[in-house]
């Protein structure tokens, strides 16, 4: 498909014609202020189109473009940022703390892992809400294989001792020394 130069010119003009460097967060901690709400775009890698979002951000007093792959999970960088955008009803003018670390895989390759500190509490709250909405059967199935004390099981499942003993009697737990395993 041929380039639509009129459209390209309008996009350049609307961005102020400013050529910003790209932000590539290194290992460590970064304070990032969003100067835009973000624009969707895509790149092609090995024949596959990769959906992304570009933000204009400020880091250490410098303005950058920041391109983020649109991940598919809430734990992805995009998932964390999208969660904050939803909670805050937009990102423009907001500041986040981003922690970047690397992990070495079994094959020797390294990957960067991103944690947005402001999203951590929201993720924990969401997980707790999801667990509260689960049935007792679902909670036990999710914890199958764990070996815990009676008190730990009662706390995790939000049940009293009578309910725990009933579950033990019907075979949902097996005794392992002074602990219990969900089976």
134-182 has the same fold as 18-123: no
- The span from the CA of 131 to the CA of 75, in Å, is 17
- Domain spans in the chain, listed from the N-terminal domain onward: 18-123, 134-182
In angstroms, the Cα distances linking 143 to 15, 76, 98, 165, 175 are 51, 24, 31, 17, 15
pLDDT in tens, 42-94: 999 899 999 999 999 999 999 999 999 998 888 899 999 999 999 999 999 99
| Whether residue 182 has pLDDT greater than 90 | no
Over residues 111-121, the mean pLDDT reads: 91
- The span from the CA of 121 to the CA of 67, in Å, is 24
Between 13 and 32, where is the model more confident? 32
| Whether residue 26 has pLDDT greater than 80 | yes
Instruction: Give CATH for domain 18-123.
Output: 2.40.50
Q: What is the DSSP string of 3-68?
A: --HHHHHHHHHHTTT--PPBP-PPSEEEEEEESS--EEEEEEETTEEEEEEEEEEEETTEEEEEEE
Q: What is the pLDDT of the chain when averaged over all its residues?
A: 88
pLDDT in tens, 75-85: 899 999 999 99
Sign of CA dihedral 157, 159, 160, 161: negative
Counting Cβ atoms within 10 Å, is residue 55 exposed (0-12), middle (13-18) or buried (19+)? buried
pLDDT in tens, 92-111: 999 999 999 998 888 999 98
Taking a C-beta distance cutoff of 8 angstroms, is the pair 18, 11 a contact? no
CATH class of 134-182: mainly alpha
Please choose, from the candidates 171, 178, 138, the residue with its C-alpha nearest in 3D space to the C-alpha of residue 156.
138
- The span from the CA of 65 to the CA of 57, in Å, is 6
């Amino acid at each position: 498909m041929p380039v639509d130069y009129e459209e390209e010119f309008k996009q350049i003009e609307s961005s102020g014609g400013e050529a910003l460097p790209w932000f590539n967060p290194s290992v460590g901690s970064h304070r990032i202020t969003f100067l835009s709400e973000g624009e969707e775009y895509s790149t092609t890698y090995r024949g596959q189109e990769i959906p992304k979002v570009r933000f204009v951000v400020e880091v250490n007093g410098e303005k950058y473009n920041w391109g983020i792959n649109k991940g598919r999970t809430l734990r992805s960088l995009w998932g964390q940022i999208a969660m904050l955008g939803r909670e805050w009803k937009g990102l423009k003018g907001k500041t986040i703390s981003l922690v970047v670390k690397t992990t070495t895989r079994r094959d020797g390759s390294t990957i960067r892992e991103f944690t947005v500190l402001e999203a951590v509490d929201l993720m924990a709250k969401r997980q707790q809400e999801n667990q509260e909405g689960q049935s007792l059967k679902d909670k036990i199935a999710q914890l199958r294989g764990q070996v815990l004390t009676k008190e730990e099981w009662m706390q995790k499942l939000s049940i009293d001792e009578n309910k725990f003993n009933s579950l033990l009697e019907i075979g949902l737990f097996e005794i392992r020394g002074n602990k219990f395993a969900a089976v």
